[in-house]
Structure 1
């Protein structure tokens, strides 16, 4: 296992072994662009209040191994992203910031993060975790944890009878004789496109198209025949009462806790409540509805390096060589409860619940980090609710109107 290189009096050798980050967000830095001799023996890292306790022992361990001090600064979760964007250009920001992968688009377009080079190490991580931090063909973050939704089964209501399609799953669930079959949270106004996305992708209708390296383009992928077919399927699920716009997240969770459904599509945030209630549950991939692979959105946590880092070599050593080790990834899982992005760490977790989420999200689709994504939700969820609730007599026409509105928002951005 690759361990971090000790730094004693900051030798030039460190710079020659690392891929230093540049002061530009356009290209990875050349190894000769800075040297460890220029470093101060410390660097600054911002972490919000939800992650600070997990990173305190990690920072201490790095200092013990290398002699380099990590100056942790706690920031407010709702402000850390915007503060980073505003302070980096002034030279007052940190060298490293810990955050979510869907910040990547905003960070890159504002020129505040430097690309990083993971090389062969990229193959040691879940594919979805790596592609989550890809933007315009380059890598901008090092993943350490992932989370996604999956199918959760109440084993007390239904035996282990795997379904190969979502229709088979619904039929099984209806045979359990419960009030609901498969709970998928929605909401009367804005719906919940996030929880329906595994079904949508199984029709080959992703929100945006992706390049070969996994980066998202701004070309919508949910139109045409695949989108029409998914819209028709939503109407069908609404007519079958599988989907109900009135069942939001809280209602779906409570119904499952009360034993009113054998299945729910949700994430580890609800699974924790189910296990605390001593429910016997299993976590499975969401079966395909449209014939293609069902891909949930994947959220990834990771580390970014500032484009204006004053200690780029040391920051890069911490991010690409230290945080990528199995020991550190496992420690972050144990303290934070999120599934490790590193495959070796994830595979050694003996918690069947987290293993189930890992399998369900292994080939998932990272949440798009493009700035255009922010304006997609308002059209997306509300249209799905109209189709599910029967307000849209022609589901394809409603879906195509939604796509047109989405394209208009992209063109106006």
Structure 2
């Protein structure tokens, strides 16, 4: 890890009052074993968020007379380290880590305050458990359709898989899609499939597994693979095929916007095409700022209110790596590439944020592999569903 900012202002430990009118975000902390320093915060974020936070943190630290250490960690490693109870006070994580963080008692409730009504309801739902919010969401992600405009005209909007096949007449493969459930969940959901049924009050019912309800979408996927419309393969292979112009279309998420731009690929992003008259509902992921159970409550509350809940900070944190902002007013001025993901985010299904998801990936990936190979989708999905039910049974 690398400390990217040690921001200190001496003289006083009194936190400056907020200039924002309205209800104050609050942080509620249980008793923890970590030694709490009332005038110091440690914030763990990835490199991109560290650069975004720097000016906001510097201003806060100077006005409040406190020390704020911003520590750069690889995004995927932050949650594991934070869950030890002796890690950061504030950290970023994806919403699907919330269940395990709560089980470990690692995070506390956070009131969204005045910014709450302007946040995407799906993003808020993602960080809510038992009617309480546990983070401030800043960005959403889902897969959409990339078009390589060096191979297909950029003004062509392929809105169905049938139209894609027509556009790809001169190509051996048409649409590259990384293999596995994450990228291909939308095919199952298009015909009513789901992993765990969402509960009306938030969360998911892990006793209600609906994978077999996606069989019609799975059959359609099998046909698309068989006729060459879809190439489902390892992530690197499908991305390389798109960059090389061998596959004119690619379905993946916003994490490829920057790498493609850096590689000089001329591309546009469109909403996902429909499948036999049905809309694909991809998984939606949410990134958010969490507050550790070991954070000094008063200082953490002020940091949430004066830094994390600021619209300009939330917007910049999302756009730093091309995510769709959770702050809804920011969506009126999005770059065209990011705007292409909004429909997927709005029309998708939240990735279930429950620990039982660990039992889902392998059986479903195996079922999809079988479907690519031409095996019976009914049998493949039924077997996968039975495996998940057995693994998640109380």
The TM-score bracket by the shorter chain reads 0.7 to 0.9
Q: Deviations over 1:75-105 (max 9, x none)?
A: 5656432332222xxxx44332222222111
Distance 1:69 1:198, change over 3 A: same
Instruction: Tell me, yes or no, if the aligned pair for 1:151 and 1:263 is still in contact at 8 Å.
Output: yes
Q: Deviations over 1:320-377 (max 9, x none)?
A: 553222221244356555443212233323x211121234323333322211111210
2:155 pairs with 1:157 = no
Instruction: Tell me, yes or no, if the aligned pair for 2:257 and 2:322 is still in contact at 8 Å.
Output: no
Instruction: Tell me, yes or no, if the aligned pair for 2:123 and 2:286 is still in contact at 8 Å.
Output: yes
Distance 1:396 1:333, change over 3 A: closer
For the residue of structure 2 that corresponds to 1:295, the secondary structure is: coil
Give the number of aligned pairs.
376
Structure 1: unaligned runs, 5 residues or longer: 1-6, 26-37, 187-191
2:59 paired residue number = 61
Distance 1:294 1:213, change over 3 A: farther
Q: What TM-score do you get using the length of structure 1 for normalisation?
A: 0.80
Match of 1:234 among 221, 227, 246: 221
Q: Deviations over 1:17-61 (max 9, x none)?
A: 634322349xxxxxxxxxxxx983443323355643443333213
The CA deviation at 1:315 is 1.1
Q: Deviations over 1:95-140 (max 9, x none)?
A: 3222222211100112221122225633312333222212343321
For the residue of structure 1 that corresponds to 2:55, the secondary structure is: helix
Q: What TM-score do you get using the length of structure 2 for normalisation?
A: 0.83
1:32 paired residue number = none
2:8 paired residue number = none
2:127 pairs with 1:133 = yes
For the residue of structure 2 that corresponds to 1:261, the secondary structure is: coil
How is 1:358-373 mapped onto 2 (pairs within 5 angstroms)?
Answer: 358-373=342-357
The CA deviation at 1:260 is 1.9
Match of 1:355 among 336, 339, 350: 339
For the residue of structure 1 that corresponds to 2:110, the secondary structure is: coil
Structure 2: unaligned runs, 5 residues or longer: 1-10
Distance 1:269 1:12, change over 3 A: closer
Q: Deviations over 1:204-256 (max 9, x none)?
A: 212221123542331444334x32212322322232233345x3212211211
Distance 1:211 1:321, change over 3 A: farther
1:180 paired residue number = 173
How is 1:319-358 mapped onto 2 (pairs within 5 angstroms)?
Answer: 319-333=304-318, 335-349=320-334, 351-358=335-342
2:198 pairs with 1:210 = yes
| Larger relative strand fraction | 2
Instruction: Tell me, yes or no, if the aligned pair for 1:199 and 1:290 is still in contact at 8 Å.
Output: no
2:104 paired residue number = 110
Instruction: Tell me, yes or no, if the aligned pair for 1:44 and 1:94 is still in contact at 8 Å.
Output: yes
